[in-house]
Amino acid sequence: MASDTSPVPGAFVHPRALCESIKIGTGTRIWAFAHVLAGATIGADCNICDHVFIEDDVIIGDRVTVKSGVQLWNGLRLADDVFVGPNATFSNDKFPRSKQYLAQVERTDVGRGASIGAGAVILPGIKVGPLAMVGAGAVVTHDVPARAIVSGNPARIVGYVNTPRVEQPAVAPPSSAPGPSGAIGVRGVALHPLTLVEDLRGMLAAGEFLSQVPFAPLRFFLVFDVPGKEVRGEHAHRRCHQFLVCIRGSVSVVVDDGTSSAEIVLRTADQGLYVPPLTWAVQYRYSTDAMLLVFASDHYDPADYIRDYEDFLSVVSA
């Protein structure tokens, strides 16, 4: 039941909280010693714990939990189902000075279903993607991709949420017929064995298009000299098929069909990873010597890319 201090019907405001906003959703609970300024917007069924401060230009979605000791400053946007752990810190000014105010603060976005761990620090202008997880005490200095798990100072990607890792075998298993050596558990994605020949003159890897590689490419590109902390990909294609071969070093590839996901570690040149259209793909954990060869079924077309994860989920669900 709402207390007498509740500014809107259906919301609960503890008698020792100060809530100046009337833009509070039904079922939301604001606990003791929290202070919500008049301009703030809080959605339905949220839980705002003790000693939380929320400034005017803050928008919070539905079913959000903000634990004790958190300050939400102007420019912050929390989407639905976000969790913010105790004493997490957000900032909105890269160069703060006493009594000097920005005409426009930098906006920080935390995507749907993301979690911010206890004591994490999020710098201004950062985007934390949907379903991402920021570890306790992490210092986030760059955008966090959708579903990524980051930790450390500065924060680095250490994995992806609900994404089992598949280690590529050192040598492709023998196959009596060309084709995939095994499904990954993500719709259409599979490892395909290539031909490997070794003799005194060295090593040779080869593949036949339309048999070992399941399409005839119109384009190829190489990715190399990638700093280990960087992430590439982070998109899906509407029509284009791709085939990835790590010809030197190692790289981890995360594939996601909107329902299931997996991480495949590519480390040999005698296997390729087939990625069909409408598969979200990310490459990270490049070794310092990594070189990734990618065959594509189509010429480059910016309109073929889906670069927003939420848009990708909408397309595959349709």
Active site residues: 235
Residue 165 tokens, joined: 């890792």
Q: Which of 102, 43, 92 is nearest to 71 (CA)?
A: 92
* 177 Cβ neighbours under 8 A, 6+ residues apart: none
Q: For residue 313, give the DSSP letter.
A: H
SS3 159: strand
What's the N-to-C CA distance of the chain in angstroms?
40
Q: Which of 108, 165, 158, 154 is nearest to 133 (CA)?
A: 158
User: Is there a contact between 54 and 31 (Cβ–Cβ < 8 Å)?
Assistant: no
SS3 252: strand
The Cα–Cα gap between 244 and 297 comes to: 12
The Cα–Cα gap between 12 and 216 comes to: 62
R_g over Cα of the chain: 24
User: Is there a contact between 286 and 249 (Cβ–Cβ < 8 Å)?
Assistant: yes
CA 169 to chain centre: 27
